[in-house]
Each structure stands twice: as C-alpha cells, then as structure tokens.
C-alpha cells in the first residue's frame, strides 16, 4: 500500500458562475422560490375558504398587500420562464414525426403555447 494521498479537486461554492450555461441553469432553478410562496399562499387561501367568510376576507386582504402582489408577479414570471425553457427543449427531447418527417421545432413550440393559451382562455371563461 502506498501512503500517497489521492488528488481531490477543489470545488468552490461559486463554481457555476464561471460558465454561462450553468448561470442560466441556476437562475432557472432559483425561480422556484416565488413559486413555492405562491403555492403556500394558494393552499392557505383554500383553507380560509373552507373556514368561512371572515377567514376568506382576511386572506383576500393579505393577498392585496403590495409585497405579496410583487411576489406573485415574480412567481408568474418564473412559471412563464420555466414554460418557455421547457417548451424550447421539447422538440429535441421528443421529436414528433408525421409521415416520416420531423415537425419543425417552431411548430412544436407554438403548438404548446397555443395549448396554454386555449386552456387559460377556457379557465378564464369558466370562472
């Protein structure tokens, strides 16, 4: 046996800042924080709806707070950013073929956004 120590490469906490791809990845992953806040707010909103009109009015007052509105706008921006990055990856991950030819990437991405718009419009009209 040898008494030599194995080489251990030093890994800084900011290793991801050195490459644009990893910076983009870390920013994308950080957008989950406002989405967590939104999910918690929505869960409490459902709970207050069950508790009655006073609890519901209190939740609506909380949601009208400018800080909460800003965080919810950030959550919306984060979810749209996630959707955009997911939709742009979809044609490479799962190419769709019709009659032996692969669909154009732009068509696949636009079809996904059209589906989002249609579902959003349906929910908007339904409510």
3-state secondary structure 33-58: HHHHHHHHHHHHHHHHHHHCHHHHHH
Return the CATH architecture of domain 20-95.
Up-down Bundle (1.20)
pLDDT tops 80 at residue 1: no
| Model pLDDT, residue 95 | 86
CA-based R_g, the chain, Å: 22
pLDDT tops 70 at residue 19: yes
pLDDT, tens digit (0-9, with 9 covering 90-100), for 97-127: 888 898 899 999 999 999 999 999 999 999 8
Find out whether 73 and 95 touch, Cβ atoms under 8 Å: no
Distance CA(27)–CA(57), nearest Å, equals: 35
pLDDT, tens digit (0-9, with 9 covering 90-100), for 22-58: 999 888 888 888 889 999 999 999 999 999 999 999 9
Q: Please state the rounded mean pLDDT for residues 11-29.
A: 89
pLDDT tops 80 at residue 2: no
Distance CA(116)–CA(112), nearest Å, equals: 6
Which pTM value belongs to this model?
0.73
Q: Please state the rounded mean pLDDT for residues 1-21.
A: 85
H/E element, 106: helix 105-126
Burial 27-47 (b: 16+ CB within 10 A, else e): eeeebeebeeebeebeeebee
pLDDT, tens digit (0-9, with 9 covering 90-100), for 51-94: 999 999 999 999 999 999 999 999 999 999 988 988 999 988 88
Length of the chain: 127
């Amino acid at each position: 046996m040898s008494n030599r120590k194995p080489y251990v490469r030093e890994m800084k906490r900011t290793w991801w800042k050195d490459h644009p791809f990893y910076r983009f990845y870390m920013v994308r992953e950080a957008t989950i924080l406002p989405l967590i806040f939104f999910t918690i707010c929505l869960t409490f909103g459902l709970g207050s709806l069950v508790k009655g009109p006073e609890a519901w009015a209190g939740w609506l007052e909380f949601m009208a707070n400018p800080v909460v509105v800003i965080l919810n706008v950030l959550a919306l921006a984060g979810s749209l950013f996630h959707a955009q990055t997911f939709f742009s990856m979809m044609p490479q991950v799962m190419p769709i073929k019709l009659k032996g030819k692969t669909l154009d990437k732009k068509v696949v991405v636009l079809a996904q956004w059209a589906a989002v718009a249609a579902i959003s419009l349906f929910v908007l009209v339904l409510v």
